A and B are shown apart, each in its own frame.
Chain A
């Protein structure tokens, strides 16, 4: 698969996930550790199953290769990213206003700083890309 890490990386991720989940049953770990464990386990297992399918099912491998090269899917992925960015910026700004208005100023300002940071980052990336293309 294109852009993949070696299989061993996903085995380590899966084992780490299982480890965290097992540790959570014997120790009183924070809920975040359990969530991270479940996430790592699901992600690692998903990639391992995908890798196994690519190796053992040539038809699936060909289908996946075409999907990876398909320009419409790449266009949709890029469009989704840009729409997501716009939604995140606007949502953060709105949440910031709401938090400030209910007197949760530090959290509200944090939202504003993140909004501002993302906007500045967008401007910088835009300038770099406009020079490249």
Chain B
């Protein structure tokens, strides 16, 4: 799933380690999230939303996959 984590983090002048500390995860998890290789749980998505003071849908861009 596409997301704006890197963009939002940079806008707030946070390092990946800063964001990891705020969320209580490892820096590797932030790297994976920003690289869109890992989709977070709903709990982590809410934590991200609260950290950035945004709604979840403002951070994650859900695109329907056409399976036809």
- Contact size range, A: under 10
A66 and B38 in contact, given A71-B44, A72-B32 (Cβ under 8 angstroms): no
Interface stretch of the complex, out of B1-9, B21-29, B59-67: B21-29
Closest to A67 in B: B26
B13 interface residue per 8 A CB criterion: no
Q: Is the interface of A mostly helix, strand, loop or mixed?
A: helix
Mark interface residues in A61-95 (1 if CB within 8 Å of B CB, else 0).
Answer: 00000110111110100000000000000000000
CB A99 to nearest CB in B, in angstroms, measures: 40
Among residues 34 to 85 in chain A, which have CB atoms less than 8 Å away from a CB atom of chain B?
Answer: 66-67, 69-73, 75
Contacting pair B28 A72 (CB below 8 A): yes
Neighbouring B residues of A73 by C-beta, 8 Å: 26, 29
Neighbouring B residues of A69 by C-beta, 8 Å: 24-25
Contacting pair B38 A75 (CB below 8 A): yes
Task: Indicate which residue in B25, B41, B43 contacts A66 across the interface (CB closer than 8 Å).
Answer: B25
Neighbouring A residues of B40 by C-beta, 8 Å: 71
Report the bound CA distance from A73 to B20 in whole Å: 14
The CB with the most chain A CB atoms within 10 A, among B20, B29, B38, B44, is that of B29
CB B15 to nearest CB in A, in angstroms, measures: 16
Closest to A75 in B: B38
Contacting pair B38 A70 (CB below 8 A): no
The CB with the most chain B CB atoms within 10 A, among A67, A71, A72, A73, is that of A72
Closest to B21 in A: A66
Closest to B20 in A: A66
Report the bound CA distance from A70 to B44 in whole Å: 10
List the 10 shortest-distance A-B pairs measured between CB atoms, nearest first: A72-B29, A70-B26, A70-B25, A71-B41, A72-B38, A70-B29, A71-B44, A66-B26, A72-B32, A67-B26
Known: A70-B26, A71-B44. 5 other contacts (CB 8 A): A66-B25, A70-B29, A71-B25, A71-B41, A73-B29
